[in-house]
Amino acid sequence: MDISRRDFVKLAAVSTAATGISAIPFSSAAANQVSPLAIQSAIPLSSASCRGTSPAAYPKGVAGEEGLRDLLAWFDRLTSANSKMVEKRRLGTSKGGYEISGFFVTNPAIPNEKKQTALIALNRHGQEAGGRVVGPEILNYLVSDDAREIRDSQYVIVIPAMNPDGIAANKFNSSRTQITNLERAVLGPVVKATPPDVMLDYHSLGQSNGARNDRGDMEVIITANTSRWGMDEQAHQYIGLKMAEACEKAGWPYEVHSIDDLWVYYFGERKIGNQPWASLKQKTFVLDTVSPVDGYNAPVDDTEIETFEDPVGYTNYICAPAYQQYHTAIFGAEVNHWSMTRTEDQAKSGLAPCEALLKLGCMRFPWEKDPGYPVNLIHGDFRHSIRAVGANAAELRASRIRLWNQRMYFDTPHRFMPDPTTTVSKVRYIGKDLPLEFAICLRMRHEKINSVTRGNQEVPFETFRDSCSTYVFVPIKMTKPGTVSLTLKHPVY
Ligand SMILES: [Zn+2]
């Protein structure tokens, strides 16, 4: 079945009509569910300054224009109280005249060239009340002692209120099918100047949305709109599962879902007996709605901005161009504004996947040579791949982006063993972006590699290990199109 974008919108609208109330106001949280301890630790927004001075970052709900103004003022206070590590930049202005700001958090004593870049965006959809307290909680965490290692090794950009007009009106105020022009204007320059290594887009589920068959209390980590190129699908799942594990440890039952599930989350009939459509068609359709050439710079027809109180729709597309252009690792998160009645729970639960992700960015993934987000495997698989090269995070990022945009000019790497002591690698590049530097990386059973030869010449190589194998990392410089052939000599296994 061929589904047009128009049908997508119509189908989404049909699903929307069936449901009722969306967000429970935080002020109406049932008193009998709030423990005395929680009341004690609840500090009003106006008095919360930064972590260390209050146990709860942001216990007050944000509602209406007043709530939004409180929220923006709180961000200013946090920035001035932590000016050594937080820089605020105004990135845009909403139609209603509210600022849309980015908060750039890092340790300025360490050069940014040595750091990975993370971009966290929240509150694209105005009625999704849960996300409103998560942004402050994330910033509060980022300025705390607990986040020192993150500040030392990463440059974290938080955009906590992408859609202030929607927040003020408690309405969706966005598009269900595309990145809006305002989002393009806000994100485009930031992403271009600082291509992210990882990106996380926060949303929030309420009473009337969740899975098609399970609504009201889900929280989800979404391995977002990526492709199966290289090992990306597996790498994203790996990260998602690690994030969920950390969330569970902290007491928050997140699920990991991939984009295949999205139609099952949001669309279609809820009647018992209806079969979901084939997941491949669903996935293909959702991916097809993302333009491969969109770099946040292609204006769209904004007449699709919709002001429902609670539409049912999924647009994680805010991240997709970063993946397409820069091979950014992209994720979504759905927090919840219905099942948790205490705002501090919403905030803490919301922080959990972000904290987990940022901590993962300080580690070395088993198949990566260097610590950081696993975005350097550009082509091939874990056993035989083309990798980015560079002496620091900035060089690796530049190399990765360049190679990613040349990926279609590489053949899939060939590997074979003519005898038990020899492994041969052949990689062909027919593009024009020359001279080109990259690495060929092979995963081996052998602990020791005797030599690597290119043509008749021995070439330098590095090795690193995971729990059971050795990766052989061979830097390559190509000056003309053709095939690189490497011969590895190793003991018999
Ligand atoms: Zn949303």
pLDDT tens digits, 176-207:
777 889 999 999 999 999 999 999 999 998 88
The pLDDT value given to residue 30:
30
Which regions of the chain are under pLDDT 50? 1-56, 275-279
The pLDDT value given to residue 312:
55
In the reported structure, the alpha carbon of residue 208 is separated from the centroid of ligand 1 by a whole-number distance in angstroms of 12
In the reported structure, the alpha carbon of residue 175 is separated from the centroid of ligand 1 by a whole-number distance in angstroms of 10
Q: Residues 370, 373, 374, CA angle at the centre, nearest 5°?
A: 75
In the reported structure, the alpha carbon of residue 174 is separated from the centroid of ligand 1 by a whole-number distance in angstroms of 9
The pLDDT value given to residue 288:
56
Q: At what angle do helices 134-142 and 64-81 cross, to 10 degrees?
A: 0
The pLDDT value given to residue 309:
72
CA dihedral 362, 364, 368, 373 (to 10 degrees): -20
Under 8 Å between Cβ of 225 and 324 = no
In the reported structure, the alpha carbon of residue 346 is separated from the centroid of ligand 1 by a whole-number distance in angstroms of 16
In the reported structure, the alpha carbon of residue 177 is separated from the centroid of ligand 1 by a whole-number distance in angstroms of 11
Taking the C-alpha atoms of residue 166 and residue 163, their distance in angstroms, rounded to an integer, is: 5
In the reported structure, the alpha carbon of residue 338 is separated from the centroid of ligand 1 by a whole-number distance in angstroms of 14
The pLDDT value given to residue 297:
81
In the reported structure, the alpha carbon of residue 130 is separated from the centroid of ligand 1 by a whole-number distance in angstroms of 10
The pLDDT value given to residue 57:
53
Q: Give the contacts of 207 (CB within 8 A, at least 6 positions apart).
A: 19, 20, 21, 22, 24, 215, 216, 338
| Strands 255-258, 377-380: pairing kind | unpaired
The pLDDT value given to residue 61:
79
The pLDDT value given to residue 287:
56
In the reported structure, the alpha carbon of residue 276 is separated from the centroid of ligand 1 by a whole-number distance in angstroms of 22
Q: How many CB atoms lie within 10 A of CB 54?
A: 17
In the reported structure, the alpha carbon of residue 267 is separated from the centroid of ligand 1 by a whole-number distance in angstroms of 14
In the reported structure, the alpha carbon of residue 314 is separated from the centroid of ligand 1 by a whole-number distance in angstroms of 6
Taking the C-alpha atoms of residue 477 and residue 408, their distance in angstroms, rounded to an integer, is: 18
What's the whole-model pTM score? 0.85
Under 8 Å between Cβ of 132 and 203 = no
In the reported structure, the alpha carbon of residue 285 is separated from the centroid of ligand 1 by a whole-number distance in angstroms of 19
Taking the C-alpha atoms of residue 43 and residue 452, their distance in angstroms, rounded to an integer, is: 62
